[in-house]
Amino acid sequence: MNTQEQFVKVMSECRALFVKKLHDYGAAWRILRPSSLTDQIYIKANRIRSLEMKGVSMVGEGIRPEFVGIVNYAIIGLIQLEKGYSEKPDDMTIDEVVEAYDRHAEEVLQLMLRKNHDYDEAWRCMRISSYTDLILMKVFRTKQIELLDGETLVSEGVDANYMDMLNYAVFGLIKLTFGENDTEE
């Protein structure tokens, strides 16, 4: 499989879980402000880093579900940036939510393809732990942008950081799914 096919496969797994949770919980996340979503991504990335450092999970869930969570929270973040948060979680139909998910997933795929072209798939030579660190760095950048109310001088916005976090999480999932861990320490 090429990178685009691997990306689509991994994203389809993330989407399937998202849709199942949408069925079970509805769009309860619609009440979350973007800053809360940034914190949720931080929790996931910090847990991955903790598991990478400790080498063992005390609750029985590994790194993979946390990367899936980052993907889905990043897309939720993109939806919230686009639509704004809501006081009521039922302001979007399930079809509208899924359409928004798919549209943002496609935007992120296209961004990844453009960057992958320019960087010549350098991510394949990186360790999964580097993706974790880069996601955490992007979280802290996002928190700073949020503190500045988006008023940056030269930096991209929160949306670009969510897209980058999502792509790093997908790279981790690709390596975990397709057994490309040969660059791991």
| DSSP secondary structure, 111-169, as one string | HHHHHHHHHTTGGGGS-HHHHHHHHHHHHHHHHHHHHTTT--SS---HHHHHHHHHHHH
User: Among 12, 19, 72, 15, which Cα is nearest to 41's?
Assistant: 72
Predicted local confidence at residue 74, as pLDDT? 98
Stated pTM of the model: 0.94
The mean predicted confidence, pLDDT, of the chain is 94
Predicted local confidence at residue 59, as pLDDT? 82
Predicted local confidence at residue 58, as pLDDT? 81
Predicted local confidence at residue 185, as pLDDT? 43
Predicted local confidence at residue 181, as pLDDT? 60
**By percentage, how much of the chain surpasses pLDDT 70?**
97
Predicted local confidence at residue 81, as pLDDT? 97
Burial (CB < 10 A; 0-12, 13-18, 19+), residue 185, is exposed
CB 13 within 8 A of CB 68: yes
The pLDDT averaged over each successive group of 10 residues in the chain (185 residues) is 96 98 96 97 97 86 95 98 94 96 98 94 96 98 96 94 98 93 48
Residue for token pair 């798939």: 121
Backbone angle region of 130, left / alpha / beta, with phi > 0 → left and psi within -120 to 50 → alpha: alpha
Predicted local confidence at residue 1, as pLDDT? 86
User: Among 31, 69, 40, which Cα is nearest to 139's?
Assistant: 40
